[in-house]
């Protein structure tokens, strides 16, 4: 039996799984993260921690939690956890890959289509009573998607799922960047690995699917936007700080790129000043990438299964640092 802290609301099923395994669970059933001081106090006796991407789990938290053995993040991205520091202290860390891949790719593609065909603007237009006559070239002219070039920045699990939708459903040519060559995706979809500048120059739609790391922080700045086509669309379902949002606003205002769809934000949930007031070809969503009921429940189940395995002395299926710990 271990002491487990669940930092935020995850629904009853995950809590029940942990209690059925006879662990002592402290469940903070709230929908906002704790402040750092509160988290440090709450984690004091914890051996297991279930946390969300809005919980910052850093060395100060580890200092406050001498008995901590394992952290199960309920997300695939883990930029909120100092994994290196956890490893140095022998603490296992896990994430929830795969179960959210298709839902997140669906969302990325929904954003791509909605942006290209200007659906949020169309909806607002109708509700404002502005539709008075059919026009051959109406104010809300969009972009073709079929047969265009899709650039995937980070051809991992979600990047490949977005690419599949583009290539197989919309006849798109796929370019990508990644650290390594993705032979399976190249064979399946005819995708081509290119340099980042080549991807920027050639793509009509650019989908960001890299993790947030020191290398990808502010990967997209005014300099990057200037390398893109003026007709290009940018879709970000990865992490907000990959885009310098002040620069994005400048690029949109100046027509450097055609449009952008953002699911994640630089100072989430805060909005960069000016972003909410800018309406033309800028689509905003409140971090809904994996947000379907089915997928969110699978994420919780996956995180809890990882934690149960780790606390039982097994290697959790989605451990991020198990090899470094042995
Ligand atoms: P993944 O399978 O690890 O894919 C990430 C890919 O990025 C890998 O293929 C990696 O290449 C590539 N990469 C890493 N650094 C790079 C760099 N500097 N330049 C170019 N490529 C780079 O991860 P995933 O499961 O697809 O998830 C991707 C990210 O999506 C997560 O980290 C998370 O932040 C975000 N996400 C957001 C939501 C949402 O709700 N909006 C939902 C789920 C995930 P190699 O494979 O060659 O190393």
CB 159 near ligand 1, within 6 Å: yes
Q: Summarize pLDDT for 295-308 with one digit per residue, the tens.
A: 999 999 999 999 99
**Looking at 121, 287, 296, 301, which residue is catalytic?**
287
Residues of the chain with CATH 3.40.50.720: 3-99+293-325, 101-284
pLDDT tens per residue across span 42-93: 999 999 999 999 999 999 999 999 999 999 999 999 999 999 999 999 999 9
Asked about 268 being catalytic, the answer comes back as yes
Helical spans, DSSP H, in the chain: 12-20, 36-42, 59-64, 83-88, 101-116, 119-127, 157-164, 170, 183-189, 196-202, 222-226, 245-253, 293-311, 322-325
**Tell me, which fold does domain 101-284 have in CATH?**
Rossmann fold (3.40.50)
Which DSSP string corresponds to 266-307? TTTTS--TTTTT--TTEEE-SS-TT-SHHHHHHHHHHHHHHH
Pocket mutation for ligand 1, best pick of 54, 209, 269 (most atoms within 8 Å of C-beta): 209
Please state, in angstroms and rounded to a whole number, the distance separating the CA atoms of residues 181 and 183: 6
84 catalytic? Reply is no
What mean pLDDT comes out for the span 239-248?
Answer: 98
Catalytic annotation on 239? yes
Q: What integer pLDDT is reported at residue 12 of this predicted model?
A: 93
CATH number for the domain whose boundaries are 3-99+293-325: 3.40.50.720
The residue whose CA has the least distance to atom 40 of ligand 1 is 289
Q: How many A from CA of 204 to the centre of ligand 1?
A: 21
pTM above 0.85, yes or no: yes
Residue 326 has pLDDT above 80, yes or no: no
Number of neighbouring beta carbons within 10 Å of residue 46: 25
| Ordered DSSP codes for 116-148 | HTTHHHHHHHHHTT---S--SS-TT-----TT-
């Amino acid at each position: 039996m271990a002491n487990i802290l669940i930092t935020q609301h995850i629904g009853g099923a995950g809590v029940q799984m942990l209690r059925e395994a006879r662990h002592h669970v402290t469940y903070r059933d709230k929908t906002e993260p704790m402040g750092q001081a509160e988290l440090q106090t709450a984690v004091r006796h914890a051996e297991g921690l279930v946390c969300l991407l809005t919980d910052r789990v850093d060395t100060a938290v580890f200092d406050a939690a001498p008995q901590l053995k394992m952290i199960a993040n309920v997300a695939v991205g883990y930029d909120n956890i100092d994994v290196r520091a956890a490893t140095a202290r022998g603490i296992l860390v896990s994430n929830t890959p795969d179960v959210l891949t298709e839902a997140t790719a669906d969302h990325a593609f929904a954003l791509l289509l909605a942006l290209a065909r200007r659906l949020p603007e169309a909806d607002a237009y109708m509700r404002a009573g502005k539709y008075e006559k059919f026009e051959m070239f109406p104010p809300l002219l969009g972009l073709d998607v079929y047969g265009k070039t899709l650039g995937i920045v980070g051809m991992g699990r979600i990047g490949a799922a977005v690419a599949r939708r583009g290539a197989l459903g919309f006849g798109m040519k796929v370019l990508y960047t990644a650290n390594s060559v993705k032979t399976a995706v190249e064979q399946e979809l005819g995708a081509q690995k290119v340099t980042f500048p080549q991807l920027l120059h050639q793509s009509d739609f650019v989908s960001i699917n890299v993790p947030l790391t020191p290398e990808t922080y502010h990967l997209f700045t005014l300099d990057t936007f200037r390398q893109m086509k003026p007709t290009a669309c940018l879709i970000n379902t990865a992490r907000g700080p990959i885009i310098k949002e002040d620069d994005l606003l400048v690029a949109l205002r100046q027509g450097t790129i055609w449009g952008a769809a953002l699911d994640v934000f630089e100072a989430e949930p805060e909005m960069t000043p000016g972003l909410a007031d800018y309406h033309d070809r800028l689509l905003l969503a409140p971090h809904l990438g994996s947000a379907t009921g089915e997928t969110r429940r699978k994420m919780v189940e996956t995180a809890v299964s990882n934690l149960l395995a780790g606390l039982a002395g097994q290697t959790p299926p989605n451990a991020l640092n198990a090899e470094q710990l042995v």
